[in-house]
Each structure stands twice: as C-alpha cells, then as structure tokens.
Amino acid sequence: MIKYLTKFNRVEKVEVAGETDHFVKLLNGRKEAKQSDWCSYFDSFDDAKNYLIDKAQKRVDSLRRSLESANGELGQIKGIKES
C-alpha cells in the first residue's frame, strides 16, 4: 500500500504494510502515528502537498502578525519624547 509521508518541507512516497485509523505499519514492522509533530501520512500526493502548503501559510500569517506588532512597538518607541 502506498502512502505519502510529509517530513519538514518535503513529500516522500512510501510503501506501508497496513494501516488503522491512527497508525501506519511500516514494512519493517514498526508502527508510526499517521499525524505527529514531525511527520504525517496521506493517501495522495496532493493531500500531502496541500497539508504542507497550509502549514507554511499559517506560519507566514503568524510571522506577519508578529512583524506588524513589532513595527507598532517600534513606532511607539520612536514617538517617545523627553519630558
């Protein structure tokens, strides 16, 4: 059975021996969670790629909000006058 494994920012095609709702069984007999902090398994390449795109977009959005906040703080600091 073929699955698509996402690790960091890449997708790998892997063969697995079987699966349950939450785990895949690898050919070497080891069991791995389908979803974890480090990797995820998907039924199709497109699902795996879209997962990585969504994950990266959320990171970009979060960093943009942090930058906006930091720019606001910088503006406030620049506006400080001696009293």
Residue 51: the pLDDT is: 97
Residue range 30-53: mean pLDDT, rounded: 96
CA distance 44 to 83: 64
DSSP letter, residue 35: B
Over residues 52-74, the mean pLDDT reads 97
Under 8 Å between Cβ of 39 and 56 = no
As a whole number of angstroms, the distance between CA 67 and CA 19 comes to 42
Torsion of CA 34, 57, 8, 44, to 10 degrees: 50
pLDDT of residue 81: 96
pLDDT, mean of residues 45-51: 98
The residue ranking higher by pLDDT, 55 or 83, is 55
Domain spans in the chain, listed from the N-terminal domain onward: 2-78
What predicted TM-score, i.e. pTM, was given to this entire model?
A: 0.84
E strands, 9-72, in order:
10-19, 23-26, 31-33, 39-42
